[in-house]
Amino acid sequence: MHEASIALSLIDVASEVLREHGAARASALTVRVGAWSSVVPEALTAAFPACAAGTGLEGARLSVVTVPGVGDCPAHGRVTLDVTRGLRCPSCGAPTPTLVQGDELELDEIELAEPDLEDV
């Protein structure tokens, strides 16, 4: 289980974005996790709150979007892959050596929490 390490890296990347935008806090963030990334979304979600404590991400809502694996079959074009069957076209079984998508591990969006200027 390396999701705590991943959560800490996520917080580093997100904190950098907060600094770039002059924001103190985020209220939500979305990450994209590929089916071939070896990261378990539930474990990442579980690890995140403790890792975020004391940072600008504390209390932020973490959404994990799972990105399915997609391969390129010579006969069937773009096909959705099943991790348990490996890199094989689900229709004809041909090898699909390259993942077109599905190995992502990225911070997609951040919702910055900024004080409403009219209320300051």
For another protein, the binding residues (CB under 8 A) are: 1-2, 5-6, 9-10, 12-14, 17, 21, 23, 27-28, 31, 36-39, 83-88, 95-97, 99, 103, 105-117, 119
Question: Which of 84, 10, 86, 87 minimizes the C-alpha distance to 43?
Answer: 10
Q: Residue 70 or residue 87: which is nearer to another protein going by CB? A: 87
Q: How far is the CB of 36 from another protein (least distance, A)?
A: 5
* DSSP code of residue 58: T
Measure the CA–CA gap between 4 and 25, rounded to whole angstroms: 21
Q: Residue 77 or residue 117: which is nearer to another protein going by CB? A: 117
Measure the CA–CA gap between 69 and 4, rounded to whole angstroms: 24
